């Protein structure tokens, strides 16, 4: 028997968690937060540090309670595709009860370690596995990591090899032909497993309704080169806000700071955490190029220094979604010793994640910045998610017998099966819409 369990991520964008069962053995793929719920949580305690029962109550983590009760003892391993919080952040809270190892790429494991440390959780065995390698779960189940490009480093497509075919789990990816740090996607391996026989493709549907291909990260470099001359002068401050996990984007911004002869200052805990993880595995060495500052006292100290020579610095920080506790939001609320002035420029190297709370928080942040006379440049960004034409290409490469979209609400999933229909798949027979808590048997 081969069965797929949709535990989380099939009714919304976030809290991804899927299980694959072959006979009496089960593996779990991803285990993440629902970031919208994290951002909307209004309690005094850090939402990520809440007790497990509260995480369930506020829908921050996948609700795996029924699955665990029925199948917990059958779970042999947990795998994570990458280091974004909606794919790995629930592992410290939920993985321990399964009493099995957690396997991910070195960068993702470093991030999981940090998250576990913040929760003070005792973790099961953490195993680092590089792209291109296999993990033998049993004589019948082997798991392969296939390199794919995304908006954070060391992202993988997971191929679950069984005697009855391969399940390909591609949850967050894009096809980038000109990545900044990493290699291109391993197309050769994808084509090879296609010939071996792909029973099902489970894939991210976040941007499947965008009638386009996702452009390369290299595009963002060109955007910065066009924008920066017009906002750079000797008196104004430059701030660039982006996602803390986007190591390649931070690389680009550091290169831009060098071109402008400005000293880059990276601010905030989340930026520091992801950069430390990347440096620990030897992928980057940003701390030699930039001053990385965390902690309110230290941030205030550097802010006072920046105030005296505003044209000499470029600040890199979080806050692109208007998150209440992010550095940029706090700067806009005058919580640090830095006064934003007319003609200062804030570049949003991001797009707003389309949820009501994000949209509202981002609009409030931009209003505060405009009230200070700050110049705002938005959408200096390309997505980390596959557009419709990338998804079509993946289908054409893998030629799976079954197509199962995930990582989206019903509108996204419907758009995904519509695309599959264009490629000859039939809803209910070879393409399938699942919701959280549902399952599907592919082979009895």
Q: What is the mean pLDDT of residues 87-113?
A: 97
Kindly state whether residues 92 and 229 are assigned to the same domain.
no
Kindly state whether residues 198 and 238 are assigned to the same domain.
no
- CATH number for the domain spanning 341: value is 3.40.50.10710
* pLDDT classification of 357: cutoffs 50, 70, 90: confident
Kindly state whether residues 350 and 403 are assigned to the same domain.
no
Q: Examine the fold and report which residue of 377, 402, 417 is the final residue of a domain before the chain moves on.
A: 377
Number of domains in the chain: 2
Query: How would DSSP label each residue in 167-205?
Result: EEEE-S-B--SS-SSSPPP-HHHHHHHHHH-EEEEEEE-
Q: Which residue has the higher pLDDT, 396 or 357?
A: 396
pLDDT at site 132: 97
Q: Quote the percentage of the chain above a pLDDT of 70.
A: 99
Q: What is the mean pLDDT of residues 93-102?
A: 96
Least confident segment among 116-130, 156-170, 235-249: 116-130
Q: Examine the fold and report which residue of 319, 343, 377 is the final residue of a domain before the chain moves on.
A: 377
Kindly state whether residues 350 and 294 are assigned to the same domain.
yes
**CA gap 107, 145 in Å, rounded:** 14
Kindly state whether residues 343 and 369 are assigned to the same domain.
yes
pLDDT in tens, 209-240: 999 999 999 999 999 999 998 898 888 999 99
Our measurement of the distance from residue 47's CA atom to the centroid of its chain's CA atoms, rounded to an integer in Å, reads 18
Kindly state whether residues 147 and 165 are assigned to the same domain.
yes
pLDDT at 143 over 90: yes
pLDDT at site 325: 86
Q: Which residue has the higher pLDDT, 133 or 310?
A: 133
Q: Which residue has the higher pLDDT, 400 or 48?
A: 400
Kindly state whether residues 389 and 357 are assigned to the same domain.
no
pLDDT at 355 over 80: no
Q: Examine the fold and report which residue of 377, 411, 430 is the final residue of a domain before the chain moves on.
A: 377
Q: What is the pTM of this model?
A: 0.95
CB 27 within 8 A of CB 140: no
pLDDT in tens, 272-308: 999 999 999 999 999 999 999 999 899 999 999 999 9
For residue 231, the enclosing domain spans 218-377
Q: What is the mean pLDDT of residues 12-37?
A: 96
Kindly state whether residues 190 and 258 are assigned to the same domain.
no
- CATH number for the domain spanning 406: value is 3.60.15.10
Kindly state whether residues 365 and 433 are assigned to the same domain.
no
* pLDDT classification of 44: cutoffs 50, 70, 90: low
Kindly state whether residues 267 and 307 are assigned to the same domain.
yes
**CA gap 170, 174 in Å, rounded:** 10
Kindly state whether residues 201 and 103 are assigned to the same domain.
yes
Kindly state whether residues 429 and 410 are assigned to the same domain.
yes
Give every strand in the sheet of 313-317, ordered side by side: 291-293, 263-267, 313-317, 238-241, 345-348, 375-377
Query: What angle is formed at CA 126 by the lines to CA 125 and CA 129, rounded to 5 degrees?
Result: 135
pLDDT at 121 over 90: no
Q: Quote the percentage of the chain above a pLDDT of 90.
A: 87
pLDDT at site 235: 87
Average pLDDT, the chain: 95
pLDDT in tens, 402-435: 999 999 999 999 999 999 999 999 999 999 999 9
């Amino acid at each position: 028997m081969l069965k797929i369990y949709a535990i989380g991520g099939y009714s919304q964008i976030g809290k991804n968690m899927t299980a694959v069962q072959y006979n009496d053995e089960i593996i779990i793929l991803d285990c993440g937060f629902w970031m919208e719920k994290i951002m909307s949580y209004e309690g005094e305690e850090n939402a990520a540090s809440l007790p497990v029962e509260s995480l369930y109550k506020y829908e921050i983590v996948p609700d795996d309670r029924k699955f665990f009760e029925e199948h917990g003892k059958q779970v042999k391993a947990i795998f994570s595709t990458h280091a974004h919080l909606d794919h790995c952040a629930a592992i410290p809270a939920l993985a321990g009860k399964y009493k099995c190892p957690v396997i991910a790429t070195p960068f993702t494991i470093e991030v999981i370690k940090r998250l576990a440390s913040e929760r003070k959780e005792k973790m099961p065995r953490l195993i680092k596995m590089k792209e291109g390698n296999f993990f033998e779960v049993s004589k019948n189940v082997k798991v392969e990591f296939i390199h794919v490009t995304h908006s954070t480093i060391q992202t993988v497509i997971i191929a679950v090899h069984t005697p009855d075919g391969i399940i390909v789990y591609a949850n967050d990816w894009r096809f980038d032909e000109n990545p900044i740090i990493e290699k291109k996607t391993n197309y050769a391996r994808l084509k090879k497993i296609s010939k071996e026989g792909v029973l099902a493709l489970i894939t991210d549907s976040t941007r499947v309704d965008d009638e386009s291909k996702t452009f390369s990260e290299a595009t963002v470099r060109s955007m910065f080169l066009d924008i920066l001359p017009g906002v750079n002068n000797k008196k104004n401050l430059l701030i660039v806000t982006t996602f803390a996990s986007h190591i390649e984007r931070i690389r680009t911004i550091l290169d831009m700071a060098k071109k402008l002869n400005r000293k880059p200052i990276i601010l905030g805990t989340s930026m520091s955490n992801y950069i430390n993880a990347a440096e620990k595995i030897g992928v980057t060495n940003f701390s030699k190029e930039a001053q990385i500052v965390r902690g309110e006292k230290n941030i205030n100290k550097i802010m006072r220094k920046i105030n005296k020579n505003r044209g000499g610095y470029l600040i890199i920080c979080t806050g692109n979604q208007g998150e209440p506790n992010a550095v940029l939001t706090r700067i806009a609320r005058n919580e640090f010793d830095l006064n934003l002035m007319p003609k200062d420029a804030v570049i949003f190297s991001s797009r707003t994640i389309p949820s009501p709370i994000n949209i509202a928080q981002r609009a409030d942040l931009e209003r505060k910045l405009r009230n200070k006379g700050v110049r705002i440049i938005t959408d200096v960004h390309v997505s980390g998610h596959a557009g419709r034409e990338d998804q079509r290409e993946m289908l054409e490469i893998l030629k799976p017998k079954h197509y199962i979209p995930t990582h989206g609400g019903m509108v996204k999933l419907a758009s995904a099966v519509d695309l599959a229909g264009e490629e000859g798949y039939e809803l209910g027979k070879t393409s399938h819409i699942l919701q959280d808590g549902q399952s599907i048997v592919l082979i009895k």
